[in-house]
Amino acid sequence: MMSQKEKSVFSRGPDLLALPSQSRRLRMGIVGGGRISKVQSLGMRLSDRWEVSAGAFSTDRDRSAARGREWYLPQDRIYTDYRQMAEVEAGREDGIDAVTITTPNDSHYDIAREFAARGFHVFCEKPMTTSVETSLELVAAVRSAGIRLCVAHAYAGHAMVRQAREMIRSGSIGRVRQVHVEYAQEWMLGEEIQSFSHVKWRQDPARSGGTACTADIGTHAHHLAAFVSGLEMTRLRAELLVCGPLKQLDDTVYVNARFEGDVPGLLWASQVAAGNFVGLRFRIYGDTGGLEWDQEKPDFLYYSKVGQPAQVVRRGYGGGNSDSVERLTRAPAGNAEGWLEAWANVFAEFAADVAEKKGLLLEPPVPLFYATVEDGARGAKFVEAAVTSDRAGGAWTNCQIEF
């Protein structure tokens, strides 16, 4: 038998995700066939909690079939119409447990409503909907259907993001006094890209919801700031900017923010910041310490306590990881984890919640931290407030939402 000590040494190493076991893998249906649907599918597989069991990948039969083959789906689980998928799957004994929505922003609401109404749980790409109004309607729909909805803020699934959150909650940096968060990319530079289909709908106000960069990546930064600091953003002043090739909507946004307790902060995002790929970073400063994290090196969290040498807190063995963080770890300290692990963590937490609802959980539930439908509504409010503030010349604008 393993001693306590031996267990603790073993726990330095890899383990299956230490969330409660389920009696079976859950079955996911996919709506949409873009690249993000592939990424999500890999996250699901890695989570070992989900199988891709059905999909409406495209309204074009051949394209949908081709994508379905990638997941080895039988013909009768490949659809061209999400409504049909909802109806057929609802009638199957081995039908899907949940659906993931990976289509353009303006369609999220209708699809989510359709599946929620039939009792399917929903995983939804961000931004959840394109208006505060629809997001609140979706909150109501989800609540009334009694289903779970998870918004795809995958970055919050990184173990070291969880570690930062836990450290702040336990007082490692004292009272939070400033929140800096940024998300810098470069991919919208270049003239030719402006005409590509996945750029075009993002630049179409009707489909994207009135902002491009703000909705697309600003919402990630907004969610991460609150998730880690433990403080919701309450008001903001925003500038929506075009800093790259001429276009209809913003490719850059600067936000001056106040968080709960009147804590100030800065948030900026840009898709034309040359040299940046996925430059999502936070720096949170408290009375007695600070924390920094960069998504591109996700295993490393930099912690400074005033008057002491800075520490490099790492996933896994090495001191300091909280239990709820070790639970989300698959590789030993020193063997890198990455973005797909973050996705897998979010899918695993979502699975644990869905499994509990369906009576498939084999162990007692644990606290879960995925982004909920309410978080999705907070993101919609953030986007709306940014637009409002920008139109008012950068006036302070409320961005908090009541449920």
Answer yes or no: are the C-beta atoms of 299 and 336 closer than 8 Å.
yes
The residue among 152 and 380 lying less far from a second copy, judged by its C-beta, is 152
Residues 307 to 336: which contact a second copy by CB under 8 A?
307-314, 316-320, 330-336
Stretch that binds a second copy, among 95-103, 112-120, 228-236, 303-311 (CB under 8 A): 303-311
The residue among 204 and 239 lying less far from a second copy, judged by its C-beta, is 239
What are the Cα distances from residue 246, in Å, to 194, 203, 205, 242? 9, 11, 15, 7
Query: Burial letters for 159-175: b for 16+ Cβ neighbours within 10 Å, e otherwise?
Result: bbbbbbbbbbeeebbee
Among 5, 74, 246, 402, binds a second copy (CB under 8 A): 5
DSSP conformational letter for 125: P
Tell me how crowded residue 14 is: count the other CB atoms within 10 A of its CB. 14
Among 232, 239, 260, 356, binds a second copy (CB under 8 A): 239
Q: What tokens appear for 379 in the block?
A: 């993101």
Instruction: Compute the CA torsion angle 179, 273, 159, 148 (nearest 10 deg).
Output: 90
The residue among 75 and 308 lying less far from a second copy, judged by its C-beta, is 308
Residues 369 to 398: which contact a second copy by CB under 8 A?
393-394, 396
Taking residues 283 to 302 in sequence order and writing x for each that binds a second copy by CB under 8 A, - otherwise, the string is x-xxxxxxxx--xxxxx--x
Tell me the residue ranges of DSSP E strands in 186-232. none
Residues 190 to 229: which contact a second copy by CB under 8 A?
190, 192-193, 196-197
| Contact between 48 and a second copy per CB under 8 A | yes
- Tell me how far apart the alpha carbons of residues 193 and 186 are, in angstroms, rounded to a whole number: 12
| Contact between 146 and a second copy per CB under 8 A | no
The size of the interface with a second copy (CB under 8 A), counted in residues, is 105
| Contact between 83 and a second copy per CB under 8 A | no
The residue among 91 and 308 lying less far from a second copy, judged by its C-beta, is 308
The residue among 35 and 92 lying less far from a second copy, judged by its C-beta, is 35
Task: List CB contacts of 8: < 8 A, sequence separation 6 or more.
Answer: none
Q: How many degrees, rounded to 5, is the angle at CA 296 between CA 160 and CA 19?
A: 35
**CB of residue 131 vs a second copy: minimum separation in angstroms?**
27
